Chains A and B, each alone.
Chain A
């Protein structure tokens, strides 16, 4: 602090925590001001201390050489208040004196005490929630009040879960509840498994925890080995082709999105590759109790194999395999997404999404399954206990079902007499017009996947009688979804999306033009849409 101070600002504290803010042209003004206000003379720092209340303040303002004297009950730690004052005063070039009564107790001159509350909240916002709750709240009162602050939790909720409202609870409990749901859904078990030729050993990292037994695998029973004969009467395999299968005991974990979780995810890191040449690690999902070979080899299982990078699926008696992604080996991390909503399975490789591997698959009752073939293979399985390499939050944001459109139940067989159903379909499509493309695409997909091509043809024939030029696209869609030969591939991707867009326009036009006719059409009286 120096004595010469021209047009300057300063914040000062005395022992009682009384603070004066001075904004003067010179130290002489201060001295004379202090004398006239019957205050003690300014200290060596050139500061005038003045309590805002008390007899000494009963000095008429006119006596003061200052243009402005305003006692403030502001917390000086909040620099923004002061900053605003400084700004406004600077603009008006007021020589003035602002007297503060410090509303809080005097602080020790520790570093953290200088920080305003907002800043502390910013810092706390960068912490893990666990630490925020367990640690930061017990440090001291000030931190506790900051760590419990609603605006902080609101920001966190919006950032991490995109929550817009919290209902009746506080933001903090809403956040923690959402997080707990996540924690329950994603079991934080981190497990290493080693295939030692005869059996799979599970090396759980925290076996002392109670829920380990229910959480991870079938235990040793579940880590069955395949010996000799196989599951569905396939030819015998030699001993080298034994496959150790690890399955999760619980159902797949679900990541929460919106109110309903809609996909599951797990990651496998290949830590060691086997000694044999045929070291294949298959990552995928399979029905519960699947214990016969690599996922993808046998009925109902889906797998992505390390040796050739192919994706295997056996829907019936015929193997299906497609060249899917890169091969993976020691050090790579492969993740598997099961999307229950769109009925798709896709994979990630070192945090990169590889696209859809299987679509239109029965995703009910599938559990994570890993197959290992050669001795010494070691994998690290991550069910969410440690950070995923893949950004699951981003996936969930991009693929989340935004809205539910009620679809007529599939058991209603469509006949030309049941025009009402057609009307409902059209009405439903019209509802979608204003929505985002993705929703429309998905809803159509769902709507039409219930119908087989013959039924689609029936719909088509009937609609074409109504207004032929509008419904060509609809037929394409109907046929497309079921994947009839000769039409566009099954993947409900861009092609379908484009058709959908066109169809939405078309259907909307159809509805507008033929609304009357549709309404008066014969057939069963329909229940209202929805």
Chain B
């Protein structure tokens, strides 16, 4: 009944073929497929994902297609390490290369993973960005992510006060 490959249309109007196995790693496509049984002739529109990003996502899916549960696996590998390290290290060499990209691409992939609901990829990207944030001062973070400092002086004063209180407590 179900064909082996599925075609999707990306936001830049390209039709991309991907195998059913990869497509089912995305919860969004999966549920769309379930909703439209019998109508699998038509390409699935993915208006939030560009073809460039989708190719990256498919790359990742291809590399991880045989992982039973990618998130679990990461946890298991780091079991012996310190507790915090468990959540923040990217253990897979391939993944490390994969995330070694421009911030714009990373954010796009993250958004796509969020939209397509690919858990493992989403976690990976979050981890990567969190690792980037680590050890940076607020100013550095603002610079890196192009954020404007929109907190007022009163906010900051209130925060400082709150910290002072906790410091004295401990």
Contact = CB atoms under 8 A, between A and B. Distances in A.
A391 B83 contact: yes
A123 B127 CA distance: 6
Given A111-B145, A112-B146, A122 B28 contact: no
Which one of A159, A388, A391 has the highest number of Cβ atoms from chain B below 10 Å of its Cβ? A391
Contact of A91 (B36, B122, B138, B142): B36
A7 B46 CA distance: 11
A391 B145 contact: no
Contacts of B170: 180, 183-184
Interface in A100-137: 108, 110-112, 114-116, 118-119, 122-128, 131, 134-137
A110 B151 contact: no
Contacts of A127: 130, 133-134
Contacts of B131: 126
B70 interface: no
A213 interface: no
A392 B12 CA distance: 51
Given A110-B147, A140-B148, A8 B45 contact: yes
A123 B122 CA distance: 10
Interface string B31-57: 110011000001011011000000000
Interface string A30-46: 00000000000000000
B76 interface: no
A135 B136 contact: yes
Nearest to B111: A114
Interface string A47-84: 00000000000000000000000000000000100110
B133 A131 contact: yes
B129 interface: yes
Given A115-B110, A135-B138, A123 B130 contact: yes
A139 B138 CA distance: 5
Interface residues of A, number: 57
A8 B9 contact: yes
A160 B134 contact: no
Given A115-B107, A126-B87, A141-B151, A389 B82 contact: yes
B13 A112 contact: no
Contact of A8 (B47, B136, B138): B47
B72 interface: no
A393 interface: yes
Please classify how large the interface on chain B is, using the bins under 10, 10 to 19, 20 to 34, 35 or more: 35 or more
B169 A180 contact: yes
- A-side interface mostly: helix
A90 B45 contact: yes
- B-side interface mostly: helix
Interface string B119-163: 000110011011101111110011001111111000110010001
B114 interface: yes
A9 interface: yes
B130 A126 contact: yes
Contacts of B44: 90
A394 interface: yes
Contact of A83 (B42, B81, B115, B142): B115
A184 B136 CA distance: 25
Contacts of B123: 122
Interface of B: 9, 11-13, 28, 31-32, 35-36, 42, 44-45, 47-48, 79-85, 87-88, 103-104, 107, 110-111, 114-115, 122-123, 126-127, 129-131, 133-138, 141-142, 145-151, 155-156, 159, 163, 166, 169-170
Interface of A: 2, 4-5, 7-11, 79, 82-83, 86-87, 90-91, 108, 110-112, 114-116, 118-119, 122-128, 131, 134-141, 143-144, 159-160, 176, 180, 183-184, 351-352, 387-389, 391-394
Lowest 9 A-B CB distances belong to which pairs? A126-B130, A387-B82, A9-B47, A110-B146, A112-B145, A122-B126, A393-B83, A91-B35, A111-B107
24 contacts: A2-B12, A2-B13, A5-B13, A8-B47, A10-B47, A87-B35, A90-B44, A90-B45, A108-B146, A110-B145, A111-B145, A114-B107, A118-B114, A119-B111, A122-B122, A123-B126, A125-B126, A126-B131, A131-B133, A135-B136, A141-B150, A180-B170, A391-B81, A393-B83
Given A90-B36, A126-B131, 19 more contacts: A8-B47, A10-B47, A87-B28, A111-B104, A112-B145, A112-B147, A119-B122, A126-B87, A126-B88, A126-B126, A127-B133, A128-B84, A136-B141, A140-B150, A143-B147, A387-B84, A391-B80, A391-B83, A394-B83
